[in-house]
Amino acid sequence: MREQHPRFDHIGRRDFLTVSAAGLALAGAPALAAGQAKRSGEIAAGLSERMLTLDPANHYSISTTSVLRHLFDPLIDVTNDSKFVPALAETWRPVNNTTWRFTLRKGVTFHDGTPFNADSVVFTLRRVQSNSKLIKSFVYQDIESVEKDGDYGVIVTSKRPFGSLPAHLTMLGMLPPSAAKNEEAFFQKPIGTGPFRFASWTHGDQIAMTANPTYWKPGIPKVEKVTFRFIPELSTRTAALRAGELQVIDRVTPDLVETLKGTRGVKVLDVPAIEAQRWVFQLGKEPVKDQRLRQAISLAIDRGVIIKELLRGYGRPVDSPVPPGLIGHMTLPAKVYDPEKARQILKQAGYSNVSVDIVLMKDFYPKQLEITQAVAAMLGDVGIKLNIKNLEIASAREQRTAGTYDLFFSGWAHMPHDPDWYFGQWFTKAGSEKLTRYTNPRVEQLIAEGRVPDPKVRQAKYEELERIVWDEDAELWLYYTVAIYGISDRLRNFEARRDYYVLLSDVAIA
Amino acid sequence: MRTYILRRVAQSALTLLGVSVLVFVILRVLPGDPARMLLPDGAPESAVAELNRQLGLREPLIVQYGLFLRSVAHGDFGQSFQYRAPALRVVLERLPATVQLTVAAMLVTIAAGVSLGIITAVLRGTRYDVAGTIVAVLGQSLPNFWLGIMLILLFGVALRWLPTSGFASWTSLVLPAVTLAAFPTALVARLTRSSMLEILNRDYVRTGRAKGLTEQSVVLRHALRNAAIPVLTVIGLQIGSLLGGAVITESVFAWPGMGKLIVDAIFFRDFPVVQTVLILSATVFVAINLLVDLLYTVVDPRIRYS
């Protein structure tokens, strides 16, 4: 599992009116005879992370989200450039800071023929909000009520402003209310409104789906069958792609790119991900509590070398805590490499022979140990000793909870294409209590003010708070990750997603 | 004999109870928190606490164990934390793949290991013996991981004779079975060789030859039967450990077996799955040991239990 933080972006940082208008325009288009498009072939994809459940509300996994997107439709979809576009909701708008209204698409049916309407949305949202056994429940705790407004309208009110709600909804498939009768049986053989119908699955091994011939989006899907196999071992995924057994694999590492490029019939696609690699400090204790030391550490690291040598160019320099394309992204002064200045700062602050512990979650990120060793050498150059503690994941997280670390190797995928969760978790007193122990009342206030639906207000608040945390060197921002996919050259229209999704509804095979 | 069996069964039950206590306690004293592993990194503390409560981990240890024993007695091993489904079902779903792989690997082991052992023993000192010994040493020293990947690259990617991974048809069984069998085959081959060598020097073998038995009859009927006892013991133990998990082979071949399941379950602190797998495999292990002990009496009539 990687760090997944699905977060939705909400309607677009730009203008929700545009999105709504686009939705209306789409809705008005005559439904082209669906299913008349020629559909042929099948695609098998190999994903790195195991899917453990078919319940859209009971996981927070990126692989699972992308697989379930084929069975279930969410209310809203997010495009690769982080725009929010209509799915089962044709339009949505904030009525006020704590109320959203969604207008639903008409004429959509579940795979068993029952119509999709407001009852489905009310059931799905109330279920995830009220059942604290569900993994995704905590995301929706701010919701106060979900009410029908006619058969195709839903009003959601929240206890406090919930501007990121549309973004979160891109990760939540809509269920038929009949699922409530026997949830366990339902999720063994689920029914959604999605472009594919469930065929079979083995827990954590593979899932097969067949085309939904009556899908509401004309001409979709383009193939008869898709299979997702879960193969955590990268060399095995790669071999299956090279042997032609799979047509797509995700999470390719830079060192395998050349091998794949050298294989006939295989292509490599890459795209800057919506993930930032940033190591976090334990800000509640010495020595990294001292901003001067954090600044010296940042100055002593040559990020260019990491990107060029260790990641073979598959990384991007950071210019903001939030990756480009998302609400809140801005261009801040580059984090430069200046070992001389780092030494000076250390000297002035009276540090000599300072030693810092970094905790790694074993085998969690590709190349993490090599990168950490390189950083240890760089820090050693300016007189900081970095002790590497490579621990089993659960133990590493335990240490972070207990606060017995100085630095922690971690990344953050801004999953629902929205930074509200990131800021709310890592930069508020309550959120960071068992993580970084960060506290700054001004930042906290800006985060709260940034929760409103208005993207312009949000952008302004986020820019102000990002300047603060950037100057504080509150985290050690290193680089933005690049997502790499291997695909068969027989695929048409495959999009390398910035959020690591593998979406096949729109993909054809020659 | 009956008393012996009854005593052994009672001992086995006690062993299993001990296993259950150990597993239960060790899992819970390990650092790490199941809810924290289930929730995305950076989920609020309130969510962690609530989920732990929902998982029943807030109760005192002894209460948790009591509840666990009671439900196990009813055949319920609890809900897997990760899979959100009954742990027993999750584990049993992996059983066919595990059994197939184990059986196939054991067949390869017995066929190849015993033959190789006999050939190298009978042809001792010849170049066949040297070649056989080299194969055996390689089998024991090549890491499974490397061997598996090499086999995939050769037979899956380059020649495309066999599928690279997965659990689809019998063809997908070949490479993992061979990979998994490499180590036990070498072990069995070396053991058979040394055991055979010892037997082949015995007086009764010379007598057999002297009275005009064919070499085949001497080797297979008289020598092998006597040499088989240590080999059987080792094979029994190997079956037990293969069933318990062929983690690396399963990972390399994306084989949906129990080994990988349990390793992941340990990493993610999925207590019910770990408990189920360990208790079930301990049961199988104990049963196989018992069977092997009883098999001795068939193979060697001198052994009698009372």
Higher pLDDT, A94 or B60: A94
Q: How far is CA A479 from CA A317, A338, B296, in A?
A: 5, 17, 64
Task: Please give the share of chain B, as a percent, with pLDDT higher than 90.
Answer: 25
A222-259 per-position pLDDT tens digit: 999 999 999 999 999 999 999 999 999 999 999 999 99
- B44 CB within 8 Å of a chain A CB: yes
- ∠ CA A484-A488-A494, nearest 5°, is 65
Closest chain A C-alpha to B167 CA, distance in angstroms: 9
From chain A, pick out residues whose CB is under 8 angstroms from the CB of B163. Answer: 243, 245
Return the closest-CA partner of residue B165 out of A486, A44, A210, A223.
A44
What totals of helices (H) and strands (E) does chain B contain, helices first? 15, 0
Are the CB atoms for A275 and A481 separated by under 8 Å?
yes
Average of pLDDT values for A139-159?
96
Q: Does residue A372 carry a pLDDT above 90?
A: yes
3-state secondary structure of A239: helix
Is A204's CB within 8 Å of B32's CB?
no
Question: Which of B37, B39, B41 should we substitute to test contact with A (largest number of A Cβ atoms within 10 Å)?
Answer: B41
A392-411 per-position pLDDT tens digit: 988 999 899 999 999 999 99
Round to whole Å and give the CA distance between A430 and A435. Answer: 10
Chain-centre distance for alpha carbon A268:
21
Residues with Cβ within 8 Å of residue B10, at least 6 apart in sequence? none
Nearest CA in chain A to B30: A395
Q: Please list the alpha-helical segments (H only) found in A203-315.
A: 234-242, 257-261, 291-300, 303-305
User: pLDDT-based confidence at B176, cuts 50/70/90?
Assistant: very high
Strands in chain B per DSSP E: none
Round to whole Å and give the CA distance between A213 and A70. Answer: 13
Average of pLDDT values for A302-317?
95
Residue with tokens 């360990």: B278
Predicted local distance difference test score (pLDDT) of residue B244? 59
From chain A, pick out residues whose CB is under 8 angstroms from the CB of B82. Answer: 52
Q: Give, to the nearest 10 degrees, the angle between helix B87-108 and helix B171-200.
A: 50
ipTM above 0.85? Answer: no
How does DSSP classify residue A485?
E
3-state secondary structure of B134: helix
Are the CB atoms for A413 and A499 separated by under 8 Å?
yes
Closest chain A C-alpha to B149 CA, distance in angstroms: 8
Provide the token pair at A232.
Answer: 């955590």
Closest chain A C-alpha to B98 CA, distance in angstroms: 13
Return the closest-CA partner of residue A334 out of A314, A318, A310.
A318
Which B residues, 141 through 200, put their C-beta within 8 Å of a C-beta on chain A?
149, 152-153, 156-157, 160, 163-167
Is B43's CB within 8 Å of A245's CB?
no
* Peptide bond connecting A30 to the previous residue in cis, omega within 30 degrees of 0: no
Nearest CA in chain B to A244: B157
From chain B, pick out residues whose CB is under 8 angstroms from the CB of A233. Answer: 251-252, 254
Is B254's CB within 8 Å of A431's CB?
no
Is B50's CB within 8 Å of A132's CB?
yes
From chain A, pick out residues whose CB is under 8 angstroms from the CB of B157. Answer: 239, 242-243
User: pLDDT-based confidence at B99, cuts 50/70/90?
Assistant: confident
User: pLDDT-based confidence at B305, cuts 50/70/90?
Assistant: low
- B254 CB within 8 Å of a chain A CB: yes
Residue with tokens 């990988």: B260
Predicted local distance difference test score (pLDDT) of residue A340? 97
Buried b (16+ CB within 10 A) or exposed e, B277-301: bbbbbbeebbebbbebbebbeeeee
Q: Does residue A420 carry a pLDDT above 60?
A: yes
Count interface pairs A-B at CB distance under 8 A.
Answer: 138
Report the residue from A239, A392, A393 with minimal CB separation from B152: A239
- B271 CB within 8 Å of a chain A CB: no
User: pLDDT-based confidence at A23, cuts 50/70/90?
Assistant: very low
Closest chain B C-alpha to A352 CA, distance in angstroms: 34
Buried b (16+ CB within 10 A) or exposed e, A256-281: bbeebeebeebebbebbbbbbbbbbb
Predicted local distance difference test score (pLDDT) of residue A316? 95
- B127 CB within 8 Å of a chain A CB: no
B44-73 per-position pLDDT tens digit: 888 888 898 888 888 888 999 998 888 888
Predicted local distance difference test score (pLDDT) of residue A317? 95
Query: Could you tell me whether strands A354-361 and A384-391 are parallel, antiparallel, or unpaired per DSSP bridges?
Result: parallel
From chain A, pick out residues whose CB is under 8 angstroms from the CB of B46. Answer: 138
Is A431's CB within 8 Å of B44's CB?
yes
Is B254's CB within 8 Å of A230's CB?
yes
Predicted local distance difference test score (pLDDT) of residue A122? 98
From chain A, pick out residues whose CB is under 8 angstroms from the CB of B93. Answer: 202-203
Higher pLDDT, A99 or B33: A99
Q: Which amino acid is at A479?
A: Y
Are the CB atoms for B44 and A425 separated by under 8 Å?
yes
Provide the token pair at B79.
Answer: 């809900």
Closest chain A C-alpha to B146 CA, distance in angstroms: 11
- B95 CB within 8 Å of a chain A CB: no
Are the CB atoms for A455 and A463 separated by under 8 Å?
no
Provide the token pair at A188.
Answer: 């063994």
Is A5's CB within 8 Å of B40's CB?
yes
Q: Does residue B202 carry a pLDDT above 70?
A: yes
- B246 CB within 8 Å of a chain A CB: no
Round to whole Å and give the CA distance between A79 and A445. Answer: 30
Provide the token pair at B253.
Answer: 């071949």
Are the CB atoms for B224 and B118 separated by under 8 Å?
yes
Report the residue from B47, B157, B166 with minimal CB separation from A242: B157
Return the closest-CA partner of residue A293 out of A388, A429, A361, A386.
A386
Q: Please list the alpha-helical segments (H only) found in B170-270.
A: 171-200, 203-210, 215-216, 224-244, 247-252, 258-267
Is B84's CB within 8 Å of A53's CB?
yes
From chain B, pick out residues whose CB is under 8 angstroms from the CB of A48. Answer: none
* Residues paired with residue A413 on neighbouring β-strands, in sequence order: A4, A275
Average of pLDDT values for A423-452?
93
Predicted local distance difference test score (pLDDT) of residue B226? 83
Range with lowest mean pLDDT among A131-145, A434-448, B247-261: B247-261
* Peptide bond connecting A287 to the previous residue in cis, omega within 30 degrees of 0: yes
Return the closest-CA partner of residue A72 out of A186, A151, A159, A236.
A186
Q: Does residue A2 carry a pLDDT above 60?
A: no
From chain A, pick out residues whose CB is under 8 angstroms from the CB of B43. Answer: 60, 138, 425
Higher pLDDT, A351 or A30: A351
Are the CB atoms for B264 and B252 separated by under 8 Å?
no
Average pLDDT, chain B: 87
Q: Does residue A161 carry a pLDDT above 50?
A: yes
Return the closest-CA partner of residue A88 out of A213, A217, A196, A203.
A217
Which B residues, 71 through 90, put their C-beta within 8 Å of a C-beta on chain A?
82-85, 90
Q: In chain A, helix, strand, coil percent, each to 5?
A: 30, 25, 45
Is B42's CB within 8 Å of A397's CB?
no
Question: Which of A131, A138, A241, A409 should we substitute to test contact with B (largest number of B Cβ atoms within 10 Å)?
Answer: A138
Is B54's CB within 8 Å of A132's CB?
yes
Q: Does residue B149 carry a pLDDT above 50?
A: yes
Report the residue from B32, B85, B160 with minimal CB separation from A397: B32
Residue with tokens 């970084």: A436
Round to whole Å and give the CA distance between A366 and B95. Answer: 31
